[in-house]
């Protein structure tokens, strides 16, 4: 993928500062709102709370909608983003909030949609805030217990050795299609997805990480998302770093003739935790789409090591690791990761 697309993917960033004027001549929020909930897998628990937002577009182009969900005590619960290329007309954009995050908050509804921003543009031309609402909408009276309960699935790798290992983290899952759209939230993602405490040293060219027995150089740092049986792919990110929150939304990646869409970057930093939203339009008549996420990192090992692999937010049973020894010799004392495979040096 070209450097331009890498920049397009991750540098469409905005902080939603207060502004004195908006470009409502380009587009505007109509004030039409509604909410609905979805039990996508039929287990009796709600997977998403979706708020529909009316938008009127005067100038056709690329638009993003970002909003935050608050409880009755004005505590922030979750964020969401929608994105698309919109024509001149009235449209409905949808903000889907992750059920696991709502359940974890323990909050009662009605919930409030606030800090709602409609923006126009892309990284090529800059983002323009065209309309905003501080207090946009109040939902029905849902309870946190109505939503799906998150589960912890961290895995452990222990071993010893000396040399270099190339780790490929793969997450594969089928995501149900709901009203022609698919969506997946991954909350608390570390990149690389390792819970073991690390020391981070940054520079203009990337980040080195180190922990007892292991050094992780800044390259490779590839992260790829591929969606199959789709019309398009969008990726939204929120990075949590202390009290700082930053949000990104990708430009829309169109599917090729085989109905596959792909997004790729090497710019994710290890400082902080990410909330990733993957969403888009499914191909016609599809009941599910296939998502594959791959992260690649190299480990330089010198002695005993202990890695806790963070699979928070990933669907159960979809996580695997391929560990390829580039050189040296290794022994693993405890392999507790589903689907882990080990290749000897060639």
**pLDDT recorded at residue 324:** 75
Q: Which two structure tokens, joined as six digits, stand for 118?
A: 């409609």
Residue 233 CB coordination number (10 Å): 25
User: What CATH number does the domain located at 11-146 have?
Assistant: 2.70.50.60
Instruction: Provide the 3-class DSSP secondary structure of residue 39.
Output: coil
What is the sign, positive or negative, of the torsion defined by CA atoms of 209, 211, 216, 221?
negative
CB within 8 Å of 50: residues ≥ 6 apart: 35, 36, 37, 38, 94, 95, 96, 97
Looking at per-residue pLDDT, the higher value among 243 and 57 belongs to 57
Rounded CA gap, 84 and 105, in Å?
30
**Residues making up the chain, counted from first to last:** 346
Rounded CA gap, 322 and 333, in Å?
16
Measuring CA to CA, how many Å separate 298 from each of 70, 99, 172, 189?
Answer: 40, 34, 21, 18
What average pLDDT does this structure show over 281-295?
92
Rounded CA gap, 188 and 141, in Å?
27
Looking at per-residue pLDDT, the higher value among 28 and 123 belongs to 28
Rounded CA gap, 265 and 224, in Å?
7
Contact 308, 290 (CB under 8 A): no
Q: What percent of the chain shows pLDDT beyond 90?
A: 34
**pLDDT recorded at residue 39:** 86
CB within 8 Å of 13: residues ≥ 6 apart: 246, 247, 248
Rounded CA gap, 3 and 270, in Å?
20
Flag whether pLDDT at 278 surpasses 70.
yes
Looking at per-residue pLDDT, the higher value among 341 and 248 belongs to 248
For 105-114, the pLDDT digits (tens) are 899 889 999 9
Question: Domain residues of the chain, as ranges?
Answer: 11-146, 155-343
Question: Can you give the pTM of this predicted structure?
Answer: 0.69
**pLDDT recorded at residue 161:** 74
Nearest to 65 by CA among 111, 38, 96: 96
For 198-233, the pLDDT digits (tens) are 555 555 544 455 556 677 777 777 789 999 999 999
pLDDT bin (cut points 50, 70, 90) of residue 317 is: low
What average pLDDT does this structure show over 184-193?
74
Mean pLDDT of the chain: 78
Rounded CA gap, 295 and 293, in Å?
7
Structure-derived torsion over alpha carbons of residues 28, 29, 32, 36, reported in degrees to the nearest 10: 130
**pLDDT recorded at residue 227:** 96
**pLDDT recorded at residue 302:** 77
Q: How many CA atoms lie within 13 A of 261 on its CB side?
A: 21
Nearest to 317 by CA among 100, 155, 147: 155
For 113-170, the pLDDT digits (tens) are 999 999 998 655 667 899 999 999 999 999 888 998 766 556 666 667 778 878 787 8
The secondary structure of residue 204, as a DSSP letter, is T
pLDDT bin (cut points 50, 70, 90) of residue 60 is: very high
Looking at per-residue pLDDT, the higher value among 87 and 2 belongs to 87
Rounded CA gap, 47 and 146, in Å?
9
Contact 100, 148 (CB under 8 A): yes
pLDDT bin (cut points 50, 70, 90) of residue 329 is: low
| Residue listed under structure tokens 């409880």 | 71
* Angle 190-247-79 from CA coordinates, rounded to 5°: 90
Contact 336, 157 (CB under 8 A): yes
Flag whether pLDDT at 87 surpasses 70.
yes
Flag whether pLDDT at 345 surpasses 70.
no
């Amino acid at each position: 993928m070209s450097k331009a697309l890498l920049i397009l993917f991750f540098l469409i960033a905005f902080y939603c500062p207060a502004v004195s004027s908006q470009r409502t001549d380009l587009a505007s929020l109509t004030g039409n709102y509604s909410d609905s909930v979805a039990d996508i897998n039929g287990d009796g628990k709600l997977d998403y709370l979706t708020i529909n937002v009316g938008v009127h577009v005067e100038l056709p182009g690329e638009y993003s909608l970002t909003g935050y969900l608050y409880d009755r005590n004005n505590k922030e619960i979750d964020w969401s983003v929608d994105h698309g290329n919109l024509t001149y007309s009235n449209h409905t954009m949808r903000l889907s909030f992750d059920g696991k995050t709502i359940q974890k908050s323990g909050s009662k509804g009605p919930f409030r949609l606030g800090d709602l921003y409609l923006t126009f543009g892309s990284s090529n031309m800059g983002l323009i805030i065209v309309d905003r609402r501080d207090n946009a909408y109040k939902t029905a009276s849902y309870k946190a217990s109505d939503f799906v309960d998150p589960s912890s699935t961290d895995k452990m790798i222990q071993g010893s050795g000396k040399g270099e290992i190339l780790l490929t983290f793969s997450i594969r899952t089928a995501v149900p299609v709901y009203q022609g759209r698919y969506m997946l939230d991954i909350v608390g993602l570390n990149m690389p997805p390792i819970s073991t405490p690390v020391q981070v040293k940054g520079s203009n060219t990337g980040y080195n990480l180190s922990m007892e027995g292991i050094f992780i150089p800044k390259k490779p740092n590839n992260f790829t998302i591929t969606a199959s049986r789709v019309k398009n792919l969008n990726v939204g990110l929120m990075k949590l770093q202390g009290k700082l929150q930053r949000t990104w939304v990708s430009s829309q990646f169109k599917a090729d003739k085989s109905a596959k869409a792909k997004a790729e970057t090497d710019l994710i930093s290890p400082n902080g935790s990410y909330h990733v939203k993957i969403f888009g339009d499914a191909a016609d008549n599809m009941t599910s789409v296939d998502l594959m996420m791959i992260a690649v990192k190299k480990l330089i090992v010198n002695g005993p090591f202990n890695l806790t692999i963070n699979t928070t937010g990933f669907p159960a049973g979809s996580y695997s690791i391929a560990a390829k020894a580039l050189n040296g010799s290794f022994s693993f004392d405890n392999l507790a990761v589903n689907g882990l495979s080990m290749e000897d040096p060639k």
